[in-house]
Structure 1
Amino acid sequence: MDVIVLIGRILFVALFLNSAFGHLTQSRAMAGYAGAKGVPSPHPAVLGSGVLLLLGSISVLLGIWADLGALLLLVFLVPTALLMHAFWKESDPAARQNDMIHFMKDLALAGAALMLLGLFSIAGHRLGLTLTGPAF
């Protein structure tokens, strides 16, 4: 089972690591998009969210306080869903549908991150293949 959990962690964080790379290397372009969506202080927000993504992903991937890493990803996902994918504000049907899909994806990933937070907090070292136990 330890290997299955490790594979799941790898698959789960692949998206976030890729996104962290984009946030940190293409921050100007991403800040323009975030600003167009109404995010306050878009450039610092993009850089800060990139750091959250990177730290959370590495933590979950390596099993270094993985519960804290899952919490960091949750802290990224919920505001992102609400600010960047506010489908209820869109009047164009195609844009509305696109934002709704991304909103629901972010909510589903937030649910998975919340479950990981609970799982790592409860199971800790019993999951195996982690470098530390839980932070909480």
Structure 2
Amino acid sequence: MDLIVLIGRVLFVLLFLNSAFGHFTKTEGMAGYAESKGVPSPRLATQASGAVQLVGALMVLLGVWADLGALLLVLFLLPTAFVMHAFWKESDPQAKQMGMTQFLKDVSLAGAALMFFGLYAGAGSELGLTVTGPLF
């Protein structure tokens, strides 16, 4: 079971690690998009959200307070879903569909991150293959 959970952690964080990399290497473009969505201080918000993703993903991946790492990812995902992917505000059908897909992806990933939180907060270091036990 430990190996299965480790493989699940690796697969789960790939998206966040890739996204964090983009937040740091394509900051200007992403900040421009954030600005178009009304995000205040879009450059800082882009870098901060990249940092939250990176730290949260690494914590889950390495099993260093993985419960806290999972909560960090939820704290990134839910506001992002509602602010950046507000499909209900779109009038173009294609933009609305794309926004809904991205919104549902973020909400679904938030649900998975909450399950990781519950898994680690409940079972803790019994899962094995982690550096630390849970923080909570």
TM-score by length of 1: 0.99
User: What secondary structure sits across from 1:67 in the alignment?
Assistant: helix
Q: Which amino acid in structure 1 is aligned with residue 48 of structure 2?
A: G
Report what 1:68 is aligned to: 68
Cα displacement string for residues 28-73 of structure 1 (whole angstroms, at most 9, x for unaligned residues)? 1100011111111111100000000000000000000000000000
2:61 maps to a residue whose letter is L
- Per the normalisation by structure 2, the TM-score is 0.99
Name the residue aligned to 1:105: 105
Shift of 1:11: 0.2
Report deviation, 1:119: 0.7
Matched to 1:68, the amino acid is L
Name stretches of at least 5 consecutive residues in structure 2 with no aligned partner: none
Tell me the distance in 2 between the aligned counterparts of 1:135 and 1:47: 26
Give per-residue Cα distances to partners, 1:85-110, cap 9 Å, x unaligned: 00000000000000000000100000
The corresponding residue for 1:116 is 116
Q: Which runs of 5+ in 1 are unaligned?
A: none
In structure 1, the partner of 2:46 is: 46
Alignment of 1:18-97 (within 5 A): 18-97=18-97
Superposed structure 1 runs of 4+ greater than 6 Å apart: none
State the one-letter code of the partner of 1:121.
A
- Provide the residue aligned with 2:134 in structure 1: 134
The number of residues matched between the two structures is: 136
Deviation (angstroms), 1:134: 0.4
